[in-house]
Structure 1
């Protein structure tokens, strides 16, 4: 009797049922991917150009413009042969589906058209919001979406329908969430991989496999932290971008003659007064060619973490990092100068990092899509390229603003021709007295 009961169990564990096989073939996710033994190479996500405006459900999707045609993710809709899995592979597939179900909150049961019907819009409009989140288009008949997808995207549709947002703003807000969370989750997964490689001596492939086992315990804490951080960051941004804007502009205008003030008032497209700073590692390109991948990753991570900490403690905002360069801003010229000095001093004292060129410019900027724009940003970038290793350059207006403080020493430099600005008279920024930003570690 034991043999009779065990035989079906063994068969059930070593072969897919007809239902499982059909689900695996229809599933656009990685259900039939074996447990990884080496890093998986993925094709880059195609850039999508969003359509403009939400179409009502009764409006059929347009096929006249090639931009409206769906582009398919690699492998979507294809029927690949699925070999008989081992017990380990079956457990791996089951865990993938269970974790996906937990993350998505439901099974994928909806096509584009069905999701659009739930949202009360056309398939075209549903696709626009999906693309704005950063995901590729899929075949119309693929059941890739959940009821939770429809409910979440419908929130933006409702905001437009109730008049709180226009369509372009709704797309922009959706894109902000998609782009920021995409970078965030990649950062988080890579941090977990690095942790397992460094502390548990796994290979890269082993580390990625074990991250999958660890992640379920982290989902709820990270989700809670994300919601809390978003509210905190929104509160801080409201202060920076609304409440304190007028005081910043008044600070920018101090000491200017009437002609300069009149010109400043005409500069309405650049509504924020900010100290804009760059820090750029010296000889990064040549050093990166000589380093192993792990050493290079360690250097970049150290550079970014040191800069992020200094900027945060100094009351500034890290706008973005690009490998060997960071861009930040601060609400006063003094805060921008303190951050610049701390960056230069900390990087110079770090045995892992090469020296850095730093600049800071006080002026008007335009803030859009989490980035900043305008001549102030461009001038700061130009001054960084002119600075000698280990030094900080400011322009004449910033030097004039900082000379009011006894904490800084400004050393005039010979005039330089700067592309797009003509002749510029930079100054070296030095610390006149001890002190500055104190870090929490040695």
Structure 2
């Protein structure tokens, strides 16, 4: 009874912060100002045609035969269309569900809702998307926000709220579970950044990662199936943004002095970036979904243009060809690419002790390929290593505190939204 009363109190305390924003508010404008003309029109079928002579890509293809995974696989949870996960101290796990729920999984496996989550525009590829935990315990969320037409990507920040007196996220290790699980909530969730180009379309990107020094963050912003915004320097779509922890342009960005979206942009020419990780050597790696074929792993360097939709090692879904990356050598080519598509989801750099042979590898979740992919790195060089068949769509991947690898199964197309734990076979 006490637990239910406390939860009700927390829900009341956060009701105002979780209300849906007014779509007509001036706050719905993006960092570049008013809505770009035509952004609320139906998404086009094909990339714009070009007169570029095609030069076929002949190196970097990463598809490998699927093999049996060398893991013991254990189901340790169940979620409804999960998208991303992030660990808190002491083994607590946050999981986003696209429908708008943020869940906490306790170390003993129990799961409950986190109260105070902002309203999201759920449906298709949109909804509550990434979750990331800063070094000080602050929670960052990305999601599709309801807008005048369709939705737009936003970045928000909140503190994970009080469980019991004197017991908060900074002291999770000191919070005894006892026989019940104290409720959690987001205190005062605040929108820090809006894409500004609202309208129809999926492909939000929406991945959040922190700079190695913890003083800034990077956010991937997909091009919403609209193609041309990825090459428009005045739109935040199809970009990787480098922002302060308050959602402002990072002063060291290549175009900082230009202001607006240019000031926030780290790289451009991206389609649907679903993975973004730093490696210990300071390099930033990104993977993104291509069109029909042409999924990419990119080494991200400031100011570079990665080519979408001018070039791609895949084609339009209609079958209309797109020139391959070598056709425009001035645009950054992927380190690796997959055709047929694997439909990459989340990605991690593995540093744990449970799989010492895999330390330093990238692990990439794959949706349509129903696999977990391992890539080895040697400085700026990436090599495809393993493509393990998981028999289901894998949405996200995380390294647990004990070094095990946790996977989120996608909740669509026959996959059930399970949380899976991978450990060595005994």
Confirm or deny a common fold (TM above 0.5): no
By percentage of residues, which structure has more strand? 2
The higher-RCO structure (CA 8 Å, 6+ apart) is 2
For normalisation by structure 1, the TM-score amounts to 0.24
TM-score, with length taken from structure 2: 0.24
Structure having the larger proportion of residues in helix: 1
